[in-house]
């Protein structure tokens, strides 16, 4: 029997979430910004342009939007709803490294 070493998985974008491990069930805008590898202001602009709406958990709690970790995970894995933003396309490619 031989010992095989599995290389450590990378992370999604600039986040601390490791590839191959499930994302938390609920994410906030700062989490998505890190996963996409964009700044907070770019993520805020995407949120207000409605680009993140397919990933949102409803109903909202207070004024803060929350995002489904399951939906984001499905998107990262290429299984979820198609989101047409170029930021999402770049983030998916970064997660496959």
Name the domain count of the chain. Answer: 1
Q: Confirm whether 14 is domain-assigned.
A: no
Q: Confirm whether 85 is domain-assigned.
A: yes
Binning pLDDT at 50, 70 and 90, where does residue 7 land? very low
Q: DSSP secondary structure string, 20-78?
A: TSPPPSEE-HHHHHHHHT--HHHHHHHHHTTTTGGGB-SS-BTTB--EEHHHHHHHHTT
What are the structure tokens assigned to 5, written together? 């070493």
pLDDT digits (tens, 9 = 90+) for 17-72: 988 888 999 999 999 999 988 999 999 999 999 999 999 998 888 888 999 999 99
In angstroms, what is the C-alpha Rg of the chain? 14
Q: Confirm whether 66 is domain-assigned.
A: yes
85 burial (CB, 10 Å; 0-12 / 13-18 / 19+) is middle
Residue 88 sits in which domain range?
Answer: 27-95
Q: Confirm whether 46 is domain-assigned.
A: yes
């Amino acid at each position: 029997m031989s010992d095989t070493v599995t290389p450590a998985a990378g992370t999604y974008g600039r986040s601390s979430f490791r590839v191959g491990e499930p994302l938390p069930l609920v994410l906030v805008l700062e989490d998505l910004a890190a996963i996409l590898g964009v700044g907070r202001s770019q993520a805020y602009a995407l949120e207000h342009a409605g680009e993140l709406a397919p990933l949102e958990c409803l109903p909202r709690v207070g004024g803060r939007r929350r995002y489904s970790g399951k939906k984001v995970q499905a998107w990262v894995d290429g299984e979820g709803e198609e989101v047409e933003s170029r930021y999402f396309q770049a983030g998916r490619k970064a997660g496959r490294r």
